[in-house]
């Protein structure tokens, strides 16, 4: 039936329009028999509820915004968005992806768009520096804000952090335990932020604790996490001194691993026989040939926590800010050779 309205469904089911609204919005008491009767009428009449009208009336759109960077080469953010979407869907919310802008004016326009679209909450998986004023405007509208991994320091925001320092230290410990003493590091420029510094420092300090040193010439820092830079960085490490190549290399993102593998293939070098590798974020490493050991991020847990933090603010009016730090783990796929007792060189 075209243009079916709520009063048509109410008449067909023999109930009030208010009852139809309670069934559609899943709010308020309705007996099971009445609910089944209403749902049957909705199906037979092909009634599609006007969600926007309901949203305007009740200030409940069922939409959570996710601000993320547009970086097709880095699957970290795709995995994060998928986890958020799954967690939101389990609570009858939809996730609206909104790509972060590098231009400050455009970025602040994006945050104003958040308000105009009446999102009920906002999750950042992108760094959004220099936009405190616009974010404060969002918070003033009573829209819960959660920042993941790269938060701004401001009141009213909940934060989910990753223990990148310990994650990288685990990678170093894995190499050390397997007998490696000469290792390379490939990561993003340290000035990019605390995440990059923690990934590098955690690796470097764990090596030092284990009696090994990370040579400056074997540390390469790239402008971005992508395969092209991974290729160039691995080429630099392996070709600068062919007589003193590292036996292992830690790459601070799986996107870098993909490029490094292409160089090693071109150079006829095998993993782990010629060099051992560990990646970071556990996104692409499982699909590489050979599969690569990687530091694993608990994406599903992050998604559940983000939606839980949102609902605590939205449904239970929590005012105290929360910061949660999550541990990482190693997903071992056999890309680290055991060279204990072997003489290299």
Please give the pLDDT value at position 56: 52
Residue 195 in any domain: the answer is yes
Residue 88, pLDDT > 60, answer yes
Same-domain check for residues 93 and 193: no
Residue 104 in any domain: the answer is yes
The residue to which tokens 């490094």 are assigned? 260
For residue 17, the enclosing domain spans 6-49
Angle at 21 between CA 15 and CA 23, to 5 degrees: 80
Please give the pLDDT value at position 323: 97
CATH number of 17's domain: 1.10.260.40
Same-domain check for residues 96 and 188: no
Residue 260 in any domain: the answer is yes
Question: For 293, what's the count of Cα atoms within 13 Å in the CB-facing half-sphere?
Answer: 24
pLDDT in tens, 188-241: 999 878 899 999 999 999 999 999 989 888 999 999 999 999 999 999 999 988
Largest pairwise CA distance in the chain = 86
Same-domain check for residues 174 and 98: no
Please give the pLDDT value at position 8: 86
Classify residue 161 as exposed, middle or buried by CB count within 10 Å of its CB (0-12, 13-18, 19+): middle
Residue 150, pLDDT > 70, answer yes
Q: In this predicted structure, which of 27-31, 48-52, 279-283 has the lowest mean pLDDT? A: 48-52
Same-domain check for residues 196 and 112: no
Same-domain check for residues 89 and 214: no
Residue 333 in any domain: the answer is no
Q: In this predicted structure, which of 42-56, 87-101, 111-125 has the lowest mean pLDDT? A: 42-56
Residue 84, pLDDT > 50, answer yes
Question: Looking at 133, 158, 183, which one is the last position of a domain?
Answer: 158
Q: Give the mean pLDDT of 27-33.
A: 84
Residue 116 in any domain: the answer is yes
pLDDT in tens, 95-111: 998 887 666 677 777 77
Residue 257 in any domain: the answer is yes
Residue 331 in any domain: the answer is no
Same-domain check for residues 169 and 283: yes
Same-domain check for residues 150 and 178: no
The DSSP bridge pattern shows strands 94-99 and 63-68 to be: parallel
Same-domain check for residues 119 and 244: no
Residue 132 in any domain: the answer is yes
Question: Looking at 116, 141, 158, which one is the last position of a domain?
Answer: 158
Same-domain check for residues 122 and 212: no
CATH number of 72's domain: 3.40.50.2300
Please give the pLDDT value at position 132: 79
**Percent of the chain having pLDDT more than 70?**
92
Could you tell me if 171 and 296 are in contact, meaning their C-beta atoms sit under 8 angstroms apart?
no
Q: Which two tokens stand for residue 79?
A: 């995995």
Q: In this predicted structure, which of 42-46, 149-153, 271-275 has the lowest mean pLDDT? A: 42-46
Residue 345, pLDDT > 50, answer no
Q: Give the mean pLDDT of 318-338.
A: 96
Same-domain check for residues 175 and 253: yes
Same-domain check for residues 151 and 168: no
At 46, is the pLDDT very low, low, confident or very high (cuts 50, 70, 90)?
confident
At 51, is the pLDDT very low, low, confident or very high (cuts 50, 70, 90)?
low
Closest Cα partner for 343 from 182, 209, 170, 213? 182
Sequence-separated (6 or more) residues with CB below 8 Å from residue 127:
69, 100, 150, 193
Q: Give the mean pLDDT of 309-334.
A: 94
Please give the pLDDT value at position 54: 58
Please give the pLDDT value at position 200: 97
Same-domain check for residues 280 and 220: yes
Q: In this predicted structure, which of 99-113, 135-149, 290-304, 316-330 has the lowest mean pLDDT? A: 99-113
Q: What is the 3-state secondary structure (H, E, C) of the chain?
A: CCCCCHHHHHHHHCCCHHHHHHHHHCCCCCCHHHHHHHHHHHHHHCCCCCHHHHHHHHCCCCEEEEEECCCCCCCHHHHHHHHHHHHHHCCCCEEEEEECCCCHHHHHHHHHHHHHCCCCEEEECCCCCCCHHHHHHHHHCCCCEEEECCCCCCCCEEEEEECHHHHHHHHHHHHHHCCCCCEEEEEECHHHCHHHHHHHHHHHHHHHHCCCCCCHHHEEEECCCCHHHHHHHHHHHHHCCHHHCCCEEEECCHHHHHHHHHHHHHCCCCCCCCCEEEEEECCCHHHCCCCCEEEECCHHHHHHHHHHHHHHHHHHCCCCCCEEEECCEEECCCCCCCCCCCCCC
The residue to which tokens 């092909």 are assigned? 46
Please give the pLDDT value at position 1: 43
The total number of structural domains in the chain stands at 3
Q: Give the mean pLDDT of 243-272.
A: 96
Size of the chain in residues: 345
**Percent of the chain having pLDDT more than 90?**
58
At 118, is the pLDDT very low, low, confident or very high (cuts 50, 70, 90)?
confident
């Amino acid at each position: 039936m075209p243009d079916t309205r709520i009063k048509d469904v109410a008449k067909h089911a023999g109930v009030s329009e208010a009852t139809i609204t309670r069934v559609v919005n899943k709010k308020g008491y309705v007996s099971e028999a009445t609910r089944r009767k209403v749902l049957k009428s909705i199906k037979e009449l092909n009634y599609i509820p006007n969600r926007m009208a309901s949203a305007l009336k009740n200030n409940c759109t069922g939409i959570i915004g996710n601000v993320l960077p547009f970086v097709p080469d880095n699957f970290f953010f795709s995995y994060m968005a998928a986890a958020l979407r799954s967690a939101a869907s389990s609570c009858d919310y939809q996730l609206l992806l909104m790509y972060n802008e590098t231009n400050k004016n455009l970025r602040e326009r994006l945050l104003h768009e958040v308000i105009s679209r009446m999102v009920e909450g906002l999750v950042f998986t992108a760094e959004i520096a220099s936009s405190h004023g616009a974010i404060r405007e969002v918070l003033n509208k009573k829209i819960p804000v959660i920042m993941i991994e790269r938060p701004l320091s401001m009141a009213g925001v909940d934060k989910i952090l990753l223990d990148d320092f310990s994650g990288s230290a685990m990678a170093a410990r894995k190499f050390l335990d397997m007998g490696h003493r000469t290792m390379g590091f490939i990561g993003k420029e340290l000035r990019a932020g605390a995440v990059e510094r923690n990934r590098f420092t955690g690796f470097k300090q764990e090596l030092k604790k284990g009696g090994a040193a990370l040579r400056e010439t074997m540390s390469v820092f790239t402008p971005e996490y992508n395969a092209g830079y991974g290729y160039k960085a691995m080429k630099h490490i392996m070709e600068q001194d062919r007589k003193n190549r590292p036996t292992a290399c830690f790459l601070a993102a799986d996107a870098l691993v993909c490029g490094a593998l292409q160089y090693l293939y071109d150079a006829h070098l095998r993993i782990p026989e010629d060099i051992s590798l560990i990646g970071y974020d556990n996104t692409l490493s499982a699909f590489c040939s050979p599969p690569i050991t990687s530091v694993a991020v608990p994406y599903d847990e992050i998604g559940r926590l983000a939606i839980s933090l949102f609902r605590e603010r939205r449904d239970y009016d929590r005012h105290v800010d929360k910061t949660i730090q999550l541990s990482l783990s190693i997903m071992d796929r056999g890309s680290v050779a055991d060279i204990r007792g072997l003489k290299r060189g």
